[in-house]
Amino acid sequence: MKSKLPVIIGSIFAAYLAFVAVVVVVYDPTPDEMDWEDRQTYINAQLSEITLGQSLVEIKTLLGKADFSEARVANENTIQVLFYRTHHMKSDGETTRDECTPLLFKDQKLIAWGEGTYQQYLTNGGATNTL
């Protein structure tokens, strides 16, 4: 009498392969789950899709957790800056602000992004009405 054990093991293995294939095809990692190179590429691609006026929540959902952030109240407005790594400078295992693109929010709405606007924001002492 032949054993059914090889058929059972083969069936379990085939089911496992099918499960793995479905996970690989369907699973889409969030930015926070990506390795740094994939995340940096993803964020760079998404920066071309964002628009002024998007909410802080929309941006965080799209780009994931920021690498750095800072906030203050200026002229009765809440100003928040999120920094996302967009360009690798040196392989030291650390992300620094000079490797990031800043996104500026006023009352939780995106008002500007990029190093130039951030420097203008700093030069004006946090005043956003001159951006």
Q: Kindly state whether residue 88 falls inside one of the protein's structural domains.
A: yes
Dihedral sign for Cα atoms in the order 37, 41, 42, 47: positive
Q: Kindly state whether residue 102 falls inside one of the protein's structural domains.
A: yes
Dihedral angle computed from the Cα positions of residues 17, 19, 24 and 27, in that order, rounded to the nearest 10 degrees: -170
The pLDDT value recorded for residue 25 is: 77
Q: Kindly state whether residue 130 falls inside one of the protein's structural domains.
A: no
Q: Kindly state whether residue 83 falls inside one of the protein's structural domains.
A: yes
Q: Kindly state whether residue 53 falls inside one of the protein's structural domains.
A: yes
Taking 50 as the pLDDT cut, the residues of the chain under it are none
C-alpha distances in Å from residue 21, one per residue of 7, 10, 29: 21, 16, 15
The pLDDT value recorded for residue 57 is: 96
Q: Kindly state whether residue 106 falls inside one of the protein's structural domains.
A: yes
The pLDDT value recorded for residue 63 is: 94
The pLDDT value recorded for residue 24 is: 75
H, E, C per residue of 58-80: HHHHHHCCCCEEEEEEECCEEEE
Full-model pTM: 0.74
Identify the CATH number of the domain in which residue 70 sits: 3.30.1450.10
Q: Kindly state whether residue 63 falls inside one of the protein's structural domains.
A: yes
Q: State the total domains in the chain.
A: 1
Q: Kindly state whether residue 131 falls inside one of the protein's structural domains.
A: no
Write the CB contacts of 3 (distance below 8 Å, at least 6 apart in sequence).
none
Dihedral sign for Cα atoms in the order 55, 121, 42, 96: negative
The pLDDT value recorded for residue 59 is: 96
Name residue 3's amino acid.
Answer: S
The pLDDT value recorded for residue 97 is: 87
Structural domain boundaries enclosing 47: 31-123
